[in-house]
Structure 1
C-alpha cells in the first residue's frame, strides 16, 4: 500500500471487531516526486471501492519516514487491493521513481480497542 492520504484524518481509524487485517507500509521517498500526488489521489479513490476496506491512517516524521496503515476486513479484501492492476502499476512506478526504500508488513489483528475523550 503506497498511499499518502491527500487529507490526513485528525483522528485515528476506529477500532474494529477482530479479526481483520492491516497492511503497514513504511517508506522514505526520493527527491523525484513528479506525478506522485495525482497517482496517490487515484489510489485513494480505488482502495475505497474495495469491498472490505475499512480505512487508513498515515503519519510522517520530520525526517521523512512515512507510515501508512491500511485496514481490511478480511484477507480477500487485502488480496483484491494487492491484485488491482492500477495499484500494481503505481507500485512499479514507486519503485522506479518515488521511493528510496520501503517495507510492507501485513498482519492479522487479534485484539483492538480505542479511546476517545468526550
Structure 2
C-alpha cells in the first residue's frame, strides 16, 4: 500500500477553534487508490472554493501512516452545509473521486451540541543569565 503525503497550507498547526453550538461538522474519512493524478490540484481548488461559502467555519486534516485520511469541515448552519454539498465543482470532484481517487470513504454529518477547547499558554523565554 502506498503512503500518500499531503501538503496543505503553511498555516500553523492548530485545530479549528471551538464555536458556540449548535453548528455542523462533516467528517470525510478516506482510503485513496494508487492513481492520484489531478488529486492535489483539485483538493487545493476545493479548499479555496469552500472558503467562499457564508457559514463555513474551517477545516482540520489528518493522515495516518497507514493511509487513512480524515477531513473535518465545520459549518455554522445546515444551509451552509447544503450549499457546499450541492456546489457544482464539488459534485464533479466527488464523481471523479469515486472513479479514480478513493478506494473507500465514509461521510458523517453531525450537529454539534457541545464544544470547548484548550491552548497551552506560551511561556516567554527568559534571557540566559551569564
Structure 2 residue 73 is matched with structure 1 residue 70: yes
TM-score under structure 2 normalisation?
A: 0.86
The two structures, once aligned, show a CA RMSD in angstroms of 1.2
- Rounded to whole Å, the distance in 2 between the matches of 1:58 and 1:41 is 13
Which runs of 5 or more residues in structure 1 are unaligned? none
Equivalenced residue count is 115
Is 2:12 the partner of 1:14?
A: no
Name whichever structure is richer in helix by fraction: 1
Structure-2 change in CA distance of 1:5 and 1:14 (3 Å) = farther
Corresponding residue of 1:87: 90
CA distance in 2, matches of 1:27, 1:66: 5
Question: Which of 52, 63, 71 is the aligned partner of 1:60?
Answer: 63
Calculate the TM-score normalised by the size of structure 1: 0.94
Query: Following TM superposition, by how much is the alpha carbon of 1:6 offset from its aligned partner in structure 2, in angstroms?
Result: 2.1
SS in structure 2 at match of 1:42: helix
* 1:100-111 aligned within 5 A: 100-111=103-114
Residue 5 of structure 1: CA displacement? 6.8
Deviations 1:66-110 (A, max 9, x none): 000000000000000000000000000000000000000000000
Task: After the TM superposition, list the runs of 4 or more consecutive aligned residues in structure 1 that deviate by more than 6 angstroms.
Answer: none
